[in-house]
Amino acid sequence: MVEALDKNDREALRFKATIEVIPPFDTPSYEGREFTKPVPRVQDEDVAHMLEHLREQNAQLESTEDRPVQEGDYVVLDITGTVDGVERDDLKSQGQVFRVGQGDLLPEFEQALPGAVVDETHRVEAIFPDDHRNPELAGKTAHFGVTVREIKIPVYPDLNDEFARTLGEYNSLEDIRAAVREDLEKTAEAQGMSALKESVLEALTGELQFEIPQGLLKAERDALIQQIYAMVSPGDRKQLDPEKLAAELDPQTRRNIRQRILMDRIADQTDTRVTASQVEAEVRRMAERNGKPYTEFRSILENRDGMAGIEAELRRGKALDYIIEKSRINVIEDERSVLAEHHHDHDAGEEEPS
């Protein structure tokens, strides 16, 4: 905070500045300290599950008129919609493909489609939520005509050597099975390392008792709240109580700040550095995961002063790796499923830099 002490055109401006600083603290001891690294064991059923997933990914769709729509079928739909008796172009579509029972359609459509046959039109009534993104539709009742033009059934390939050869440079099903197991073992190792790093940070930052400056608390709390706001709809956002949210986020806010302060301290003590090529490699990885061209993604980061943040996070990551290198790590077999986090990591993507 800057406060002017006087205002005199004939003299230099005098002011008083209040600057928040990190209170002094002792770095927790970590050399030779024991930590646990829980690594899930890859089970045969995990491999079988992933092979079944490969079958589903490589299913072929075949049309049928021999039976009505069932859950899990793909349907080709023509849809018309009216509001207040007026047909709307934004509620109309032709030849759109949906899978029944996957939540891709309005709940009223999902209920109406099972049992429908080709060229049959169903009348469906739906009420749009009050927070619908289109104000003209918010809270309105729409009447739809939904016509099934085609029913497509997924046909799955057999798990055999022939199927394996369609997936790349594999000669047999056993080759695929070995590759899947190897991939899952890498995933299990990554999960174990992630859990180890979390436990190290929790243990060391738990020993830091200094008072966090209010400015840092506010900045971190505001950033977390903005992340939550970005993930919810405008209607859900209105239901959030900022004060209650801030209170709920307080433990995470303090934990995040203490972890950064500690890792920065250890990075300084160990003269940890990050090269420009390492920063660039990380930006390229993030751009790929976000499905954006590298130059475009880098431009977004530079416009938001995000490059320095990436360098700082890489440096902190190196400091954490150093702590682990100097510690005693006990590797144990974890009973949790390797697939739970594997599916989450596969489906989740990184958001654009904010």
Three-state DSSP at 220 gives: helix
- Which CATH class, in words, describes the domain spanning 60-155? alpha beta
Q: Token match 């190196």: residue?
A: 318
Whether 40 and 334 have beta carbons less than 8 Å apart is answered as: yes
pLDDT at 351: 43
Whether 51 and 176 have beta carbons less than 8 Å apart is answered as: yes
Report the share of the chain in percent with pLDDT over 70: 91
Closest CA to 256 of 287, 225, 289, 283: 225
pLDDT of 135 above 70: yes
CA distances from 101 to 104, 108, 147, 154 (A): 8, 11, 17, 14
The structure tokens listed for 56 are: 């589903």
pTM: 0.75
Per-residue pLDDT reduced to its tens digit, 136-181: 888 899 999 999 999 999 999 999 999 999 998 899 999 999 999 9
Pick the CATH number of 25-44+185-347 from 1.20.120.1770, 1.10.3120.10, 3.40.50.150, 3.10.50.40: 1.10.3120.10
Residues of the chain with CATH 1.10.3120.10: 25-44+185-347
pLDDT at 340: 74
Residues of the chain with CATH 3.10.50.40: 60-155
User: How far does Cα 193 stand from its chain's mean position?
Assistant: 19
- One DSSP character per residue, 78-105 reads EEEEEETTEE-GGG-EEEEEEETTTT-S
pLDDT at 168: 87
Q: Token match 């144990």: residue?
A: 332
